Structures are given as C-alpha cells and as structure tokens.
Structure 1
C-alpha cells in the first residue's frame, strides 16, 4: 500500500512526508496483524482543528474562525458485507457495532461506539447508504489540547461512510452536521458545530451561527505555509479538574445580559444598546457579565476582519487582530485563569514569556476554552527555535507543538 509523496505533502507539509509515510505503513501493518491481509484496503484521514478567532462567541450565535491542522486521525479500512462495523483504535479496545440497529443506547454514552452508531444513524436519516467495514485507526491529535480529537474521529467515520457506501458524494458540510448530531444525540455532549466543520472542510474557515439551523460557512483561501510564520500550540500543563463551573459561567453570564433586553442570546442585541443601559445592566447582571458581553460584540466583529485580512494577503493586519482578540479574552472575557485557583496561572506565564520572545512580532493568545491548558502563538520562522526552547524550558519537553495549517479536511488518502 503506497501513498504518493505529493498527497502527503499537501496533508502534512513538506517536512513531514517521510515520517507520515512510515506512519501509514505502520498502520497498514497493524491492520493486517489484527484483521489479516486484504486486497481492497482504503486509507482515510480527518484532521484536528485550531480555533483562530471568535473566542467563546459561538454559544451566543456569534461568528468564529477556525483552521484544520496537520495532526489527524488516520484509518486503514477494508469494506465487508453485512452490517457490522469493527474499529480497533490504537490503545483502545475494539468497537464492534451492528449498524442495522441505530437506536440510541444509554449504555454507550460517552463512548466511541456511540459515535460510530450516531454517524451511521445520521447518514441513514439523511437518505444516504451505510455499510459494514473493518478499520484500524491511529491518532496524533493531542488530547486535552483544544484541537478536537473527538470531532476528527467523528468526521473520519463520516468520510469512510461517504466513500465506501456513497461514492464520496456526501458534502463536507453535511458530514460535519452528521458528526455534530452523533456527538449531541448519541455520545451525549452538547457541542457546537465549529469543531466538526473545521475538521471536515479543511483550511481556514469562518462560521456565522446567527441561524443555528443553517450556519453560514465560508472558506478563507490563504497559503499560510508561505507567510513566514509558524503556528504553535503550547501546553502549559494546567489542571483541568473542576473547571466546568468556570466554562459554564461564560455563556450563562452573556445570556443574562441578553435576557435583560428580553432576548435569548447576545446576537440579538447591540453593543450600543448595552452601553446606553449599562448602569441598570450592571446592577442586574454584574460587572463581569457586562465585560464578557463587550468581548462578545468586539470579537464577533473581529472574525470578519480577520478573514478579510487573510483574503487580501495582509498577514500583519491579521496578526494585529489576533493580538486584539487575545487581549480582549484576557481583560474582558477573563478566561486566562480560574478565579477559584488564582495561584495557578500557567496561561499567564505562557503569554508573558511568549511576548518576551516575540518582542512585538507575530501574535499570541489564549487558545480555546481557556482557564487552563494551551496558548496559541504565531511565531516568525527566525524565532521558532528560540520560542520552542523557551516554552519547553518552562513547561517541559514536548510542550510546544508546531502545527501545519492543512488545506484539506476529511479525505480519502489513496
């Protein structure tokens, strides 16, 4: 089983071709060790994603920007007759799912089997065919990094069903919507659509959630590899335990401001309305809720500006907007450290040290949900080694990951 170097370069970047070639060969061998040799082997891939713009805006029907990255889940697949889907993921027990039964199983909640059954149900509900197959998967999408390993797995399953059973005709947008349905209804997690859409569509994308039933998705064409910058994610090794109340407070407080005006989400009011009534809103909702609402309005508007900057090739303007967004997250959204644990501020340390190395070049910001975990940095190529060494000196070897912006989403590889 061979994969062309041209394909691997497109998916992972020129520097990763030899490594990825060996990775696919090892995955094929693992498949054969488990399921035996097969003449009809197919290879598939679905990427993780990074949030670029619109920090905590989607849950109030706002706009976001995201991008697919070179870390992915790959699958070695052999179609088979019948309705059994067997998937052995590296490091996990085999999942065996009979897709002739598409009922939601309470005992499968929070499991990969639930995602497999849920994606199959989503295809069937949409009028597409489903079929049995055997697969071995392996992932290098970092767990707990905000790069959405679960969305990549869901999109991978959808991509396999599309190509094996439907001639590859199911659109990337539809696969993302089915993946979200599987996660919400079968897995039991009420996630938005950004993660699945970025993984399925690929490249830079913006999503406008004003109409949540029909979000507006736009691809943003930009060759980041030739920009002179590198995208880095730094794991500050923060403790994620007991942070659910911190995350939950953000949409709740934003929506409390909307409720003051008789609306459900901030997308239905304006910043001008808030400023005009700010004295009364502060009394009812509190200052942090108002500050978070201000962040929503400004970051929502920034997404369109970021997309316009990339489309026009204005990388400096784009990075300036990323910096503004990061500053807004820190000052107004306030998701850089947990109020209940003020002694632990790994994200703050990472942001300060990043700015110290970058000296006004590039950009750095909190990544994803915040409070603990990762920061995102756009680092000039001539500073990449210094930046990586500085971060790993503080947070440990392997804590700084250089990511490739991948122009392709979920795809058949061979």
Structure 2
C-alpha cells in the first residue's frame, strides 16, 4: 500500500500532499560538521516519504508504516523535549522546533510516514524523517523557509528535542542535495556548492556496504567525542577546530597533553584537509585519485577517533584487497556503513570478496548497493 493510500485508510480523507526526503552517505569529512568544518555528502535514492494534511485543533497525529503500533497523538502546545515518544520524537521534534522559532504551526497536522532509508546504518534515516516533515509543513503552512533554514530547524529538533548532539550535515544533505552531485558544505556559514559527481560517465561506482551492525548515536560515545573536540578547541584558543590550519597541526598537537584530545584534534583537522583534497581532485577531473584519500580517512576514523568496528574495518580491507580504488566507514561509526569507490567492471568481484570475508569471519551478511547521487527533499504528489 502506498503512503497516500495508507493515509486515507488511517485518517479517512486524502492528504493535502506527499513529500520525500532522502538519506545520505558522506563521501568525506566526518565529525567535522560540529567543528564548523567541511563535509561532502550526497543524497541517496532511498527516501522517507510523508503524506500530510493540516489540522485546526492543535492535534498532531503521527503514524509510520514501518513500525508496528497505533497512531501517536500529541498536542502541539504540549510538545516537550526529551519526552519518551520513540520514533515519533523525530517528526514531533520538528513541529516543536517550528513552534519554538515562532512559526504558525499550532493548528497541528496528520502525518503518515514510510521510509526506504535503512535504519541504524549510518545513512541518516532520522534526518530524512525530520526534513520531510519540515518541508511538508513549510509548504502547507506557507512558512517561506529557505532550505538551509529548514535544515537548521530539523537539526534543532534532533539536538534539543530528541537529545542527539548531531551537526547540521545530515539535515542539509537531505534538504539541499541535487541529482548527479555531491554537496560541498561549509558548516560555519552553511554555504554550499554542488560538485559534479557523475561516476557512471567515468566508469566508476560508489558502493555502500551496510554492515548490519546497528549504531545508536544517543549512547554517549558521539557526545563524548564532541566534548573532546570542544575541549581541544578551548585549549588551543580557537572557537572551533575549523580554525586550526592543517599546516599548523603539528604545532597545535604539541600543545595538547591529553592523548585522547590530541587524537580527536588530529582527526578533525586532517579530515577537513582531506575534504579540500577531494574537491581539488574532482575539480581537476581526477576522480580515481580520491580513492586513497577515502582510505586515509578510514585509518584516521579507526585510529584517532576510534569509532570503527571489526565489521567496518573488514569491509574496507576486503574491498581494497579485491581491487577497490578506496574505501572508508561513513557516518557516526560504531557500526553502520562503509563507502567503496570501484571501477564499474569490478563491482561484482569486490561485492563477492566483501561478502565472503564477512562469512569467513562469522559476521552477518552485509547489504551492498550502489550510492547514486540523487535529488534532495521535494514534493512528489
């Protein structure tokens, strides 16, 4: 059953519209967003889809086709951060963030959701839910939000309502990406550049290896690393690690006595530099040369940030051993997915090598699929 039909069955009338917002993979630049650095995500074809209608009585009704359970019914004027509403906290948090920002959404809404973005795979399934809700309400209530404003409100929903201290990359990617491009995002001023990333024309593919190891960013490990980065910035006398130049990294590290903070600073500053390297290579048309940069990024995430896991490390090593041009984990870590840059002719052999390596290690079989740079959030019906 489609989302529109599901809405009609639930709520007894046709929705006013249907919207979609994608998940994302991040090509390069990890844990740099909350350090006001640089990231380079691309939208996936996998989307969260929402059928939505306005209400006038202040009631917010939420339902997911993907999760067993009844309609969640809340009141817009009673929405409270950190309330235990499970999956519904993501769309409810958006309504709360809009309300708190002074936008006229007090009438409420009926929302029915379905998503093809794999959950727990580091592909921003939560951001897709937030952005699709924000876009639908923006259009229905005539709020006039820009896409960066919409992304910021969705981020606030996750930070302050749900309680996950994520940066703004995931929501911006879902809201702003365009088909056939990667998004170069400056997380300080939210300026964006659409970078052509047509791999097919180069005889290349970017694969996602979903390790099936579920990660949860609310477990404290993400927040601990964010706090460590903020401590590093404080000790170095800068507002954010973005302000530490790569050329000055060794000098900066020599000033830090805490080994853990030193590792975090080294990762963030070097990953910002890796984003710059990837941009330069893509601008020069040398797409294959970004492969080793991806692999370097994985080593930094594994050794300095220490957010990898055995399955991610195996995905990267098995893919590279089988002839991939480069690979790295993507997303928040502790599970989730890796991205692998491969020649189109090597897709089957690399996929086979990774799958066999997982089987030999006794791991759950991974899910491997192409990451096709796709469109951001949009109305579809």
1:280/1:312 CA distance change after superposition, 3 Å: closer
1:96/1:242 CA distance change after superposition, 3 Å: closer
Equivalence for 1:97: 74
- The TM-score, its normalising length taken from structure 1, stands at 0.78
Equivalence for 2:300: 328
**1:355-394 equivalences in 2 (<5 Å):** 355-358=320-323, 361-393=324-356, 394=358
- How many angstroms does 1:402 deviate by? 2.5
User: Which secondary structure does the structure 1 equivalent of 2:70 belong to?
Assistant: coil
Contact 1:97 1:113 in 2 (8 A): no
Contact 1:256 1:285 in 2 (8 A): no
CA distance in 2, matches of 1:261, 1:105: 37
Equivalence for 1:18: none
Q: Cα deviations across residues 34-86 of structure 1 (Å, max 9, x unaligned)?
A: 22353x65221011111221122223322111111111111223444443332
Out of 270, 274, 277, the residue aligned to residue 298 of structure 1 is 270
CA RMSD in angstroms, aligned pairs only:
3.0
1:44 maps onto 2:19 in alignment: yes
1:113/1:289 CA distance change after superposition, 3 Å: closer
CA distance in 2, matches of 1:154, 1:323: 31
Contact 1:367 1:374 in 2 (8 A): yes
CA distance in 2, matches of 1:48, 1:202: 10
Out of 251, 263, 266, the residue aligned to residue 241 of structure 2 is 266
CA distance in 2, matches of 1:335, 1:136: 34
1:348/1:31 CA distance change after superposition, 3 Å: same
1:248/1:164 CA distance change after superposition, 3 Å: closer
Larger Rg: 1
User: Which secondary structure does the structure 2 equivalent of 1:108 belong to?
Assistant: coil
1:153 maps onto 2:116 in alignment: no
Equivalence for 2:376: 409
CA distance in 2, matches of 1:369, 1:158: 23
Equivalence for 2:117: 141
1:58 maps onto 2:25 in alignment: no
Contact 1:71 1:403 in 2 (8 A): no
- How many angstroms does 1:186 deviate by? 2.1
Is 367-376 or 110-119 further displaced after alignment? 110-119
CA distance in 2, matches of 1:187, 1:246: 16
1:398/1:78 CA distance change after superposition, 3 Å: farther
- How many angstroms does 1:220 deviate by? 2.4
Equivalence for 2:2: 26
1:94/1:308 CA distance change after superposition, 3 Å: farther
Is 255-264 or 172-181 further displaced after alignment? 255-264
Contact 2:23 2:128 in 1 (8 A): yes
- How many angstroms does 1:215 deviate by? 3.3
Contact 2:61 2:109 in 1 (8 A): yes
CA distance in 2, matches of 1:86, 1:243: 25
1:184 maps onto 2:159 in alignment: yes
Task: Count how many residue pairs are aligned between Structure 1 and Structure 2.
Answer: 370
1:37/1:280 CA distance change after superposition, 3 Å: closer
CA distance in 2, matches of 1:164, 1:377: 39
1:205 maps onto 2:183 in alignment: yes
Equivalence for 1:340: none
Gaps of 5+ in 1: 1-24, 338-344
- How many angstroms does 1:370 deviate by? 2.5
Contact 1:163 1:412 in 2 (8 A): no
CA distance in 2, matches of 1:26, 1:309: 42
- How many angstroms does 1:155 deviate by? 0.4
Contact 2:82 2:163 in 1 (8 A): no
- How many angstroms does 1:347 deviate by? 2.0
1:232/1:315 CA distance change after superposition, 3 Å: same
Contact 1:257 1:285 in 2 (8 A): no
